[in-house]
């Protein structure tokens, strides 16, 4: 199974990387861009064949290592 973990800063947490990206996009003429938030995507190849168990494993990995739970939130998507 493949687990995709998307990690983003929680709302209200300053995002200097997102701000820099937004300013660069405006500088390139993309005036229609509002707030920009930057995050990270981690793809995990898991040997688990049960989707529920794979999700539980990926969520545990995210809580323990992949996301800083104080300032970040995460989402897990499972695919075959």
For residue 72, name the pLDDT band (cuts at 50, 70, 90).
very high
Element of type H or E holding 20? helix 16-27
- Identify the pLDDT of residue 29: 97
Separation of alpha carbons 73 and 80, rounded Å: 24
Q: What is the pLDDT of residue 44?
A: 98
CATH topology of domain 2-79: Mth169; Chain: A , (3.30.1280)
Domain assignments of the chain as residue spans, ordered by start: 2-79
In terms of Cα–Cα distance, which of 80, 79, 3, 71 is closest to 41? Answer: 3
What was the pLDDT predicted at 45?
A: 98
2-9/39-45 β-pairing = antiparallel
Residue range 21-66, pLDDT digits in tens:
999 999 999 999 999 999 999 999 999 999 999 999 999 999 999 9
């Amino acid at each position: 199974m493949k687990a995709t973990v998307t990690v983003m800063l929680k709302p209200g947490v300053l995002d200097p990387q997102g701000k820099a990206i937004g300013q660069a996009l405006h500088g390139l003429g993309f005036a229609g861009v509002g707030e920009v938030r930057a995050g990270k995507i981690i793809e995990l190849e898991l040997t688990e064949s049960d989707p529920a168990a794979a999700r539980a494993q990926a969520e545990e990995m995210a809580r323990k290592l992949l996301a800083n739970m104080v300032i970040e939130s995460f989402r897990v998507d499972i695919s075959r």
